[in-house]
Amino acid sequence: MVWIYHQYSGDLYHNDKLVYRGGYSGKGVHKNNPASESVRGKGPIPRGRYTIGGYTSSKGPMTIILEPCNCNNMYGRNLFRIHGDSREHPGEASEGCIIVGPDARREIISSVDRELVVE
């Protein structure tokens, strides 16, 4: 089964089950705004398919690496991740990465399903 992230709402699903409500991608007026997916450093993650890779602590605990499908239009953007929010500036941690809570990231990491679809 695949993971599905809704770019306009920030909701994350797995096997048709809501895993996390109200995540976000992007910042300011570009946050969760599909019309801004081409805006580097501010727009949400572009729609398409991604492979869920390993995880690091580059953006905090359980930072999950996303590899875009060659079929995606990435608008010259790269280095997308799934990570947690900023403690100092909540709601401002994303330059395009997907921001969800630790339980959702833990569930992604422990899952055998490695495909994410951003709609």
The H or E element containing residue 46 is: none
How many folded domains does the chain comprise?
1
- Phi, psi for 35 (deg, rounded to 5): -65, -15
Q: What is the DSSP letter of 96?
A: S
Instruction: State pTM to two decimals.
Output: 0.96
Cross-strand partners of 36: none
Q: Residue 79's domain is classified under what CATH number?
A: 2.40.440
In tens digits, the chain (119 residues) has pLDDT values of 899 999 999 999 999 999 999 999 999 999 999 999 999 999 999 999 999 999 999 999 999 999 999 999 999 999 999 999 999 999 999 999 999 999 999 999 999 999 999 99
Cross-strand partners of 3: 14, 116
Domain ranges, residue 25? 3-118
CA-wise closest residue to 45 among 19, 21, 27: 27
**Can you tell me the distance from the alpha carbon of 11 to that of 99, in angstroms, rounded to the nearest whole number?**
10
